[in-house]
Amino acid sequence: MQIRNAQVGTGENLLAIAILPPLMSRNGRVALIVAALVVAVLAFVIASPGNDDEGGGQAAQTTTQAETGGDETTPAETDSEPAGPPEPEVTRIRVRGGEVVGGPADITVQNGDVVHIVVAADAPDDIHLHGYDIEKPAAPGQPARFRVEADIEGSFEMESHVAEDAGRDPLIARLNVEPR
């Protein structure tokens, strides 16, 4: 009973979409098409064998949402796709008195991301990003700047070679590159 209602609702919405487009903006049409696809997929899932009472409740909600979207020209919710790639965040690390302020950083990115790490130190140092094998000097007022395309997956240590040579814990940061 409820399942049948859901199917009728879907049909009405598809009909509305077929009629409305000439009156609507392109964005409105795209939004409606997206909404129609969502409704269609949900209706399919709900109508598949094995679902009972719960599915009927969802179907009723879905129908209501879609009808609202059809009456108004406001775009559907855009929680499915983010707009463009995010800007790379800069991780700023300070080494003071041979210690990493706040403890070693933990940086996790996805393969292909651009990683931006700036290490400021109050004494001359050599900062080494293992795995990518990039070594840069740091000095007071002259931080080591790393800008790396993270195309090697794994977990890599960034070390202070001065700390290492002095027998202290050299870990400055850990860069974790996960599969995209």
Q: Does 128 bind Cu ion (CB under 5 A)?
A: yes
Q: How far is Cα 77 from Cα 87, in angstroms, rounded to an integer? A: 23
CA-nearest of 112, 114, 116, 117 to 159 is: 117
Stretch that binds Cu ion, among 47-55, 82-90, 114-122, 157-165 (CB under 5 A): 157-165
Q: How far is the CB of 72 from Cu ion (least distance, A)?
A: 59
Phi, psi of 25 (to 5 degrees): -70, 165
Instruction: List the end-to-end C-alpha distance of the chain, in Å, as a whole number.
Output: 43
| Residue closer to Cu ion (CB basis): 31 or 177 | 177
| Residue closer to Cu ion (CB basis): 36 or 138 | 138
Specify the 3-state DSSP secondary structure of 142.
Answer: strand
- Token pair belonging to 23: 């009156």
Q: Pick the binder of Cu ion from 138, 159, 173, 177 (CB under 5 A).
A: 159
In the bound state, the residue with its beta carbon closest to Cu ion is: 128
| Residue closer to Cu ion (CB basis): 10 or 128 | 128
User: What is the binding site for Cu ion (CB under 5 A)?
Assistant: 128, 159
